[in-house]
Chains A and B, each alone.
Chain A
């Protein structure tokens, strides 16, 4: 009774993902993991900023990765439910990246542009239900590519 089980499923799992990622950013800060440490301890201010943006990009990416994993893990669900799951997660992820796309301490350099591109694909997942699987894959690849391109950019700056 009440809202359909699908809606509760989506809300519950999205909240779980968000909570996990909040825990992660705090742990990463305390433990000074990888790109975050590069961002904090780098000598050059511009390079530091890029590493911090890289970290935020990775952190945001991890939200979509987890949501995609949920979609992949629940292939037994009816197709229409899975389509709605994808649209819901895309909406949630889209709202997450809005916060950095539109403002934020690190919005000075490249991040907003990258997130703008991601946002367009999340909208397509929601609006173009018939090709949602293709669009999910497109978003996954886009995020991976952006991360690799960002890493390349950082490397170039370091070599200068």
Chain B
């Protein structure tokens, strides 16, 4: 059968240790970086959570409350109510978008830095 199954032979033990050492070193670097970036990770998570909750609160509670108050207003014309509700919705949506874009940029730049530092670590391993 010769060397038919040669490709499936295990890696030589001396090589195995080298690779295990490399893997361990990689993981150690990764964990170290994670620890160093812990504050940033928590800060980003907090920003995203806050904006998410604020969005939900506006669209599910605040806007319906405002719409109900305006609909109950017997003095304002329907045209005015519609115009302002539309403007309010649009203003809030634009504001949320700018905030979310800012968070996304912040997240991306942190991620890029993290990856760069990991690559530097990998080159040393």
CB within 8 Å of B: which residues of A?
Answer: 1-3, 7-8, 11-12, 14-15, 18-19, 21-22, 25-26, 29-30, 39-41, 48, 52, 56, 59, 92, 95-96, 99-100, 104-106
- A11 near B102 with CB under 8 A, answer yes
Residues of B within 8 A of A104 (CB): 87, 90
The proximity string for B residues 56-88 relative to A, scoring 1 for CB distances below 8 Å and 0 otherwise, is 001000100110011000011000100110111
Given contact pairs A1-B40, A26-B58, A26-B66, A7 touches B106 in the complex (Cβ within 8 A): yes
The proximity string for B residues 84-117 relative to A, scoring 1 for CB distances below 8 Å and 0 otherwise, is 1011101110111111011100100110011000
Partner of B98, one of A3, A18, A41: A18
Partner of B95, one of A2, A22, A40: A22
Query: How long is the Cα–Cα vector from A112 to B50 in the complex, in angstroms?
Result: 31
Known: A1-B39, A22-B58, A40-B80. 9 other contacts (CB 8 A): A3-B40, A15-B47, A15-B51, A15-B99, A22-B54, A22-B95, A26-B88, A52-B84, A92-B102
Q: List 9 A-B contacts (CB under 8 A).
A: A1-B37, A3-B40, A3-B110, A26-B58, A92-B98, A99-B90, A100-B94, A105-B86, A105-B90
Task: Give the total of B residues in contact with A, Cβ under 8 Å.
Answer: 40
CB within 8 Å of A: which residues of B?
Answer: 36-37, 39-40, 43, 47, 50-51, 54, 58, 62, 65-66, 69-70, 75-76, 80, 83-84, 86-88, 90-92, 94-99, 101-103, 106, 109-110, 113-114
Q: How many interface contacts (CB-CB < 8 Å) are there between A and B?
A: 95
CB distance from B111 to the nearest CB of A (A): 10
Residues of A within 8 A of B54 (CB): 19, 22
- B92 near A22 with CB under 8 A, answer yes
Given contact pairs A40-B80, A105-B86, A96 touches B94 in the complex (Cβ within 8 A): yes
- A25 near B113 with CB under 8 A, answer no
- A30 near B69 with CB under 8 A, answer yes
